[in-house]
Chains A and B, each alone.
Chain A
Amino acid sequence: MDVVDFASWYRREHPRLASTLVVVAGDVGTAAEAADEAFARAYERWDRVGVMASPGGWAYRTALNVLHRRRRRARLEAVLLRRHGGGGKLDSFAVPADWSPEVWDALRSLPIRERTAVALRYVADLPTQAIAEAMGVAPGTVGSTLHAARRNLAAALGDELAVPEIELTPRCEEEPSDA
């Protein structure tokens, strides 16, 4: 397989990865750091990452791992802050410029797992298999997580009837098939 040129891949991939991470992290600063680290790691190993079937998939997984680590650290810092009389709330959840505040507020109400699935599906535009690999879960779990996310998102938006009881996974038909 030919090695993809890093610079062109980086320029093409950055906006989507960065936006995805902002949704997952709920914080622009944390997302920016995770994106920077993921791209730096990809650059460092580009001889191997560049020949992968999906360098983007590798980058998403790496970035999510970085975010996961930072969230754990943030939780610990929050505990320490509370212990020392601070507020202990670190997530700013400031609305990014040009993004809909209503949608942003609805997103922030989702559990992190559902927010991650939504971000990978609707912002990163990844197929189910790639989402499963990035999140480290089974493809079936992605479907159920997305279903729950849409239901909770609809509830947060006051659109209770929007999600059917049976998951139709309308975007799955876009995925490549071996058949």
Chain B
Amino acid sequence: MPDLDTALATITRFAERPPIARPPDEDVARRARSLRRKRRIRRSSAAALVVVVGVAGVAVGLRAGGDDGARSVVSDTPPTTRTVEPGEFLDEVIDIIEAEAYDADPDWVAGWREQAVAVAATARTAGETYRFIEGMRGMVGPGPTIVSPPPVQHQADDRTAPSPAPTSEVVGDVGFLTLPPIPSGATSESGTAYIAIAHDLLDADVCGWIVDLRVPEPVRSASDLGTMLSAVAPLLGPGTTVGYRDRTGATTTWDIGEDGAVSFGEEEVAPGSDEAMGPDLPVAVLQRWSTSGTWEALLMALRGEPDVRTFGLPSGGRSTGTETFTLSDGSLLVLRTSLPVDRNGTGYDGPIAPDEQVAPRGTRTDPQREAAAAWLATQPSCR
């Protein structure tokens, strides 16, 4: 029988004689693809899947560049449902949170794992653990949010659905632009039309623009950030607009190229065109609490520009970079995985205050718009 020192020396040499052969590199890649298929909803710029659900009183839009964050991802395949053992399900969720959540704290995760054992012991189905999972809210940012049963999904149909379109009016020398939600990607039929209409409107002979990002309350549906950035590219000009920083510090940015093409990281999501570039004009942006999600990302993109001033009330503070993961029971886990940052790398983790706070007053006047118009009137191009 070896003594302790000999045994420890023997254990140390176990690594030199691994009893498991190393699988070929390509097996790792294959398994990673399989894991991804199993767990994660793939990002798809072309998919026009729109899901709007109410969870804890908060409407959440899920899709590429969805309302709850410009990095939301969507599925182009319907989820499947199956019965899952509650303990296994909770392990799966906590594994994802630990690996992906922007705010995952190791101490909290360890605590959840302990609590999960007790929860799993009494739960009969995975669904009975949802409340526990949503109880983690506040400790990992604005999530996690779990969506189940798998939501009713419908493919947005470009042939039958009315295509949303930007609108504008010109009062004096000032243009007033409103941007409805556009769930479709920039290369889809309705997305392309949306962008073309916006560029046509922004070609008007004006001395400055008021961009209204005060989303009407009923309009809480998803919108594609790539499409919207491409639509207002003539106002933004080339350069980085907004980015999302994950917990390792890596930032992926939305950029506009010299030709007006919009890209997210390495991926071009909207092609460039002559119309995508416009003259440098002053821009007044209207915001309020409902300026949230994609509109808040647009607000961040515009704020970084020179000759831009914002008016109204603090924004909603919900432009979190969320990702959506499919779980083994077919439900969806929405998790904050990144923090929005402006072009200077400044992170935003709450409402964005306007340059000039202007409260609404009654229903017949729009003091925020009036304040914006008054500022534009002082700008060199409008004098």
Contact = CB atoms under 8 A, between A and B. Distances in A.
A68 B3 CA distance: 30
Q: Is the interface of A mostly helix, strand, loop or mixed?
A: helix
Interface in A13-29: 14-16, 18-20, 22-23, 28
A65 interface: yes
A19 B15 contact: yes
Given A43-B32, A157-B7, A162-B3, A73 B88 contact: yes
Nearest to B88: A73
Contact of A45 (B12, B85, B99): B99
B19 A28 contact: yes
A133 B15 contact: no
A32 B5 CA distance: 28
B14 A123 contact: yes
B91 A72 contact: yes
Q: Is the interface of B mostly helix, strand, loop or mixed?
A: helix
A95 to B, nearest CB: 9
A28 B18 CA distance: 10
B85 A157 contact: no
A35 B28 CA distance: 10
A65 to B, nearest CB: 6
A14 B2 contact: no
A40 interface: yes
Contacts of A72: 87-88, 91, 117
A57 to B, nearest CB: 12
Contacts of B170: none
With a 10 A CB-CB cut-off, give which of B1, B87, B110 has the most chain A CB atoms.
Answer: B1
Contact of B25 (A10, A41, A153): A10
Interface string B160-173: 00000000000000
Contact of A23 (B2, B14, B17, B88): B14
B246 A48 contact: yes
B337 to A, nearest CB: 10
A19 B18 contact: yes
A44 B28 CA distance: 9
A61 to B, nearest CB: 8
A69 B32 CA distance: 19
B18 A18 contact: yes
Q: What size tier do the contact residues of chain B reach?
A: 35 or more
B11 A107 contact: yes
B250 interface: yes
Nearest to B7: A103
B82 to A, nearest CB: 16
Contact of A99 (B14, B23, B35, B92): B14
Given A14-B22, A118-B11, A136-B110, A100 B250 contact: no
A16 B12 CA distance: 10
B98 interface: yes
A107 B2 CA distance: 13
A163 to B, nearest CB: 7
Interface string B90-126: 0110010011000000100110010001000000000
A139 to B, nearest CB: 13
Contact of A44 (B1, B2, B36): B36
A108 interface: no
A22 B18 CA distance: 9
B10 interface: yes
Interface string A140-170: 0000000000100110011100110000000
A22 to B, nearest CB: 6
19 contacts: A7-B25, A14-B18, A18-B18, A19-B14, A22-B19, A36-B31, A37-B31, A39-B28, A40-B28, A40-B35, A45-B99, A48-B250, A72-B91, A96-B17, A100-B7, A122-B14, A153-B7, A159-B1, A162-B5
Interface of A: 7, 10-11, 14-16, 18-20, 22-23, 28, 31-32, 35-37, 39-41, 43-45, 47-48, 51-52, 62, 65, 68-69, 72-73, 76, 96-100, 102-103, 106-107, 118-119, 122-125, 133, 136, 150, 153-154, 157-159, 162-163
Given A106-B7, A122-B8, 13 more contacts: A23-B11, A36-B23, A41-B99, A51-B250, A68-B91, A69-B88, A73-B87, A97-B19, A98-B17, A102-B2, A103-B10, A123-B11, A162-B4
Interface of B: 1-5, 7-8, 10-12, 14-20, 22-23, 25, 27-29, 31-32, 34-36, 85, 87-88, 91-92, 95, 98-99, 106, 109-110, 113, 117, 246, 248, 250
